[in-house]
Amino acid sequence: MPWEYSEKTKTLFMDAIHGKPGTHLGEIEDPDGMGEHGSIACGDAMRFTFRVEKDENDPTKDVITEAKYLTFGCTSAIASSEALCSLIEKGSYTPIDALKITNKDIVDYLEGLPAQKIHCSVMGAEALEAAVFDWAKRRGVNLSELGVELPAVEEQEGRIVCECFSITEPYLKRKIQELELKTIPEVTDALKAGGGCSSCHHAPGGLQDVINEVWGTEEAVQVATEASTATASDEKAPASPYQFGKSVEKALNDYVRPMLQADGGDVELVDIKDYLVYVRLRGACASCVGAEATLRSMVELNLKNQVDQRIRAIAV
């Protein structure tokens, strides 16, 4: 199904990519604040930079005058980044005030986003937060003294709940509360958590447990987990007796290979299963029209005579 993007989203994307004047693609050199969120392995990432008009007496009165982004991601990720920069520039915010911009403001600016794409707008808000933290450090502003909490920055540390997208428990808890996420699908749409292998959905300490903890649900809503009993692909066949394998190898080396090598060919032992001996014809033998005859009269017959009459040679 084509994504149901709003006209606004599509226009912002195209304008940005084609460098229409007034768009914000790029990176500010020597920025006053720089923040990043996401990673290329996870499918989207953003680098957000801004410049401020500095207030000489009180850095908290700095005003953001310019904002730019570089974004790896889909149409809506780039449009969300564009939306964030537009919102910030229009509002003449101080960095601290800019923190009031939420992912919902971005979604509204875009005139809606498909549910599965909400995480694109969340990324913008997170990168902004990281950039404000960076600005504070550069300008010597003590955010915690001002009562501004920047949890995202500290939440990089903590127990990882979703391994696929490296999402930590403190981050999950805060976001679940902030965005009022009540179900696993909602969490996945907004934060990507649980969108990969889904093994964290109902694992102990997994998404459902975290959701329950945040909302104080007594009884976990248990949904049958998708228990995969599929086994690994390197399933080994029952082992052939060691002695038998050795005899086959010896017969090949002592009798068969010297004969084939004399004709510019060779044979390689691939595997043995019971009395089935899998071989690969090499060199001149590999492309020889008489390969089948070689297999039967030289390889198989010799192995039968030398080792066991029940042997069958199979060309791989």
Partner 1 sequence: MKTIYVDNNATTSVAPEVYEAMVPFLTEDYFNPSSMYEASRTAADTIEEARKTVSKSLRAGNPKQILFTSCASESNNTAIFGVAKANPKKKHIVTTAVEHPAVLDVCKDMARSGYEVTFLPVDSSGNLDVVNFVRAIRPDTLLVTIMHANNETGVVFPIENLSRLVKETHPEIVFHTDATQSVGKLPIDLSGNFKHVDLLSFSGHKMHAPKGVGALFIRKGTPCRPLLIGGHQEGGRRAGTENVAFIAGLAKACELAQKHIGDEERVAALRDRLENALVEKVPYLEVNGAGAPRLPNTLNIAAHYIEGEGILHELSEHGICASSGSACTSGSLEPSHVMQAMGVPFTAMHGSVRFSLSRYTTEEEVDQIIEVFPHIVEGLRKASPYWDSVNNKPREDGLMA
Note the residues at the interface with partner 1 (CB under 8 A).
1, 3, 10, 13-14, 16-19, 25, 27, 36, 38-41, 43-47, 70-75, 77-78, 116, 119, 164-165, 188, 192, 195-197, 226-231, 233-238, 270-271, 273, 276, 278, 312, 314, 316
- How many Cα atoms sit within 13 Å of 238 on the Cβ side? 4
Whole-angstrom Cα distance, residue 165 to residue 40? 11
How many whole angstroms from its chain centre is CA 151?
23
Whole-angstrom Cα distance, residue 79 to residue 108? 12
Taking the least distance from each CB to partner 1, the nearer of 13 and 133 is 13
42 is catalytic: yes
Min. distance of Cβ 79 from partner 1 in angstroms? 10
Min. distance of Cβ 225 from partner 1 in angstroms? 11
Q: How many beta carbons lie within 10 A of that of residue 146, not counting itself?
A: 11
Q: How many beta carbons lie within 10 A of that of residue 29, not counting itself?
A: 8
- What DSSP line would sit under 233-301, residue for residue? TTPPPPPPPHHHHHHHHHHIIIIIHHHHHHTTEEEEEEEEETTEEEEEEEETTTT-TTHHHIIIIIIIH
Whole-angstrom Cα distance, residue 206 to residue 212? 10
Taking the least distance from each CB to partner 1, the nearer of 196 and 245 is 196
| Contact present, 242 and 297 (Cβ < 8 Å) | no
288 is catalytic: no
Min. distance of Cβ 56 from partner 1 in angstroms? 31
Taking the least distance from each CB to partner 1, the nearer of 94 and 188 is 188
Task: Choose the catalytic residue: 85, 120, 162, 200.
Answer: 120
Min. distance of Cβ 29 from partner 1 in angstroms? 12
Taking the least distance from each CB to partner 1, the nearer of 269 and 301 is 269
Min. distance of Cβ 63 from partner 1 in angstroms? 25
Taking the least distance from each CB to partner 1, the nearer of 27 and 180 is 27
Which positions are catalytic?
42, 120
